[in-house]
Amino acid sequence: MAQTVSRNRSAISRKTEASGVEGDKKTSSQWDNIGKIKAAFPKSKMMVAVAGGITAKTAPEALAKGADILIVGRDITQSKDIERSARAYLNILGDDIDQYRVHVE
């Protein structure tokens, strides 16, 4: 496993650096890299998080491309109606939000 991680570290690093820059029109196309990152570790249960420029309009595409975790910042924190913005994400996720909670020991 350590060799696999070491071998793929530079590939993941490149994909991380290339991914979602806030305000970048290429953000959605960068989400195609999620599948490539997961393919590099086919036997792991690795979760991929995306951040930077996530909005209620772009979140469904990020999820469809395989994102496991959405890190949302300004779209909620700088909203004129924070509750409405947060609820928009809850509606996008649907179901019971607790089923998505990551449990670690």
Give yes or no for a contact between 30 and 51, defined as CB atoms under 8 angstroms apart.
no
Fold of 2-100: TIM Barrel (3.20.20)
Q: Is the pLDDT of residue 3 over 70?
A: no
Q: Is the pLDDT of residue 77 over 90?
A: yes
Q: What confidence score (pLDDT) does residue 78 get?
A: 96
Rounded CA gap, 34 and 68, in Å? 10
Query: Mind listing the pLDDT tens digit for each residue in 7-20?
Result: 555 555 544 444 44
Decide: helix, strand or coil at residue 30. helix
Q: What confidence score (pLDDT) does residue 6 get?
A: 53
Rounded CA gap, 10 and 24, in Å? 23
* pTM for the full predicted model: 0.66
Q: Which two tokens stand for residue 25?
A: 């029109």
Query: Mind listing the pLDDT tens digit for each residue in 17-66?
Result: 444 444 445 555 688 899 999 999 988 888 899 998 899 999 999 999 99
State the SS3 of 32-90: CHHHHHHHCCCCCCCCCEEECCCCCCCHHHHHHCCCCEEECCHHHHCCCCHHHHHHHHH
